[in-house]
Structure 1
Amino acid sequence: MGFFDDLPPPPVAPSPPERPRPAWAMPEDAIGVAVPLDIALAFGDGVAVGVTALTAFANGFEVTVSAVARVDDRRGRVLRDGFRRAYPPDEPPGPEFLRFGLRYADGGVATNLTFPGALDAEPAGPLLIHHSGTGTQRRQTVTYWAWPLPPPGPLTVVFSWPARGIDEFRTEIDAGAVRAAADRAVVVWRDA
């Protein structure tokens, strides 16, 4: 028998209780439903950008933004810098940053210019939170979580990318289609 075999196992600390997920957070126990979209692309200096997917959940939606460069960027900076939040929170972003926002039919606005940080209370207005991203030297795809579901009416999508020659581009998505898809989202684990 070895030295450590004679020692009693350490006591197991009880797990702290799980905090309930905030009402505004993306559900972890549900599968969203894809919203049919007509792709509208903003074209700039050697780039195209647009919303390429939208997935609705009961309390909000995931929106996927894709940017494609016309030619290979060996250093990968053009697209990467467009999505990278490399500026202090108290300063405006530089022209290389791709600005993305949503305007709800009731006037609510959510953009990628602000980061809500840790939210203990329900936010006063719509949120747009960077969720995930991936890319190559010619393509970047970033997913955002948008909360809450949009009210009936148009959901306006706005892009601006000054360094790439996109001053401001707008397109609309029917919020009714988003809400209809949200009604079909599936909660996988009701006890989670």
Structure 2
Amino acid sequence: MNFSSAEPNSIASAVARNFGSSGGVTARQLPFGRNRTHFLPGVAPVQQLIGANADTAVAVVGMSAYPMGVEITLEIRLRHGSGPGWEPTLPGGWAHAASMIVPFAVRFADGRTASSIPWPREFAWPAPGRDGVELAVSGREVSEPEAGPRAVVRFWLAPLPPPGPLTMLAAFPARGLPISETVVDAAVVRAAAERAVVLWPDGLVLPRPGVPPAGPEAATEQIRAAFTTVFTGGQGGSDPDAVAAATTAILAAIEGGEALRPLLERVRSGHPDIVRTARPSIDDIVFIDPGRAAVRFRVHLANGPDFGEQIGFAVLTDTAAGERTAWKVAARTYRKVVGWGGVY
């Protein structure tokens, strides 16, 4: 079936089947380990409408280019008072749903394509991560000004497009906007990438060491053990009792762990194959003060993307009596990692 000739209602039905409440997919997350913070990007002067109807508009409003790829900013506008018009069972609210209900895709001049999310098979739509081209969500923001709801979704595209036309496609079938496209000369993007400035050497930098705790060697071993427990997947195998015991141990190794149980359950159910293969490696540990440490670590996923090297934190927790007793993975570090899977 040719997507561009399909009726919007039939497209919306297919989207609801594929992205509804029955275990649908989520937008893929940017591999955050591919660090770009050491670059000041070159800005390509691109502001182009992809598609619009009476109450919906999708546009490219910015492109920030780097030697290794380009971040494309997509803006989605809804006319004030026109209603949401999206599948209400999608998780995460408008801020996260926007990147799922408004699929975005690119086509290079050499024919290579990629899409931010899978699309119903009956429609001619590029596959995610096809032909060595990566297109993934790298950021989101949402607001509801008086003029109407507005969502901004940023996508990381790598590598840089080859010379020739770069075609960008989007649709909002739930609001009657079929597949639409706009074309940018890739020369504009490539020229912007050449203007990118290296600010400092690449690599994540640990904080400066501070006053260590008493017994730093024992503290270091506790921190390594906590990170290993928390980020090792597949613990307990298929035995329910063993899984329950492993869950208890994982939550006990996280700051305020019991409150994070829903996140653990959601990331397990949403990404079972990826979570089962998770294996951490812990490199450097630096004590910021007697109760906090910074940790350089990585979570290896055999069935998932490479999120690269990370800086996380460990904290020395207190008992009910007020005594500091155990080093644990900081709650914000755990939230960051499960956030890779769209779980917040």
**TM-score, normalised via structure 1 length:** 0.70
Between the aligned partners of 2:78 and 2:35, the Cα distance in structure 1 is: 30
- Residues 98, 184 of structure 1: CA spacing in aligned structure 2 closer, same or farther, 3 A cutoff? same
From 153, 163, 167, the counterpart of 1:152: 163
* Structure with the higher fraction of residues in strand conformation: 1
- Quick check: 1:36 aligned with 2:45? yes
Question: Which residue is 1:132 aligned to?
Answer: 139
| Greater radius of gyration (CA) | 2
Q: Which amino acid aligns with 1:129?
A: A
From 175, 178, 194, the counterpart of 1:183: 194
Deviations 1:125-146 (A, max 9, x none): 1111111111123110011111
Between the aligned partners of 1:146 and 1:64, the Cα distance in structure 2 is: 11
Q: Gaps spanning 5+ residues in structure 2: where? A: 1-30, 87-92, 119-129, 204-344
- Residues 100, 52 of structure 1: CA spacing in aligned structure 2 closer, same or farther, 3 A cutoff? same
Q: CA RMSD in A?
A: 2.6
Q: What SS is found at the alignment partner of 2:190? A: helix
Q: What SS is found at the alignment partner of 2:187? A: helix
* Structure with the higher fraction of residues in helix conformation: 2
Between the aligned partners of 2:143 and 2:157, the Cα distance in structure 1 is: 25
- Quick check: 1:52 aligned with 2:67? no
Between the aligned partners of 2:62 and 2:34, the Cα distance in structure 1 is: 19
**TM-score, normalised via structure 2 length:** 0.40
Between the aligned partners of 2:143 and 2:113, the Cα distance in structure 1 is: 30
Between the aligned partners of 1:191 and 1:43, the Cα distance in structure 2 is: 40
Question: Which residue is 1:164 aligned to?
Answer: 175
Question: Does the CA-based 8 Å contact 1:129-1:146 persist in structure 2?
Answer: yes
Question: Which residue is 1:117 aligned to?
Answer: none
1:22-101 equivalent positions in 2, closer than 5 A: 25-72=34-81, 78=86, 80=94, 83-85=98-100, 97-101=101-105
Q: Gaps spanning 5+ residues in structure 1: where? A: 1-21, 86-96, 115-122
Among all aligned residue pairs of Structure 1 and Structure 2, give the percentage whose two residues are the same amino acid: 32
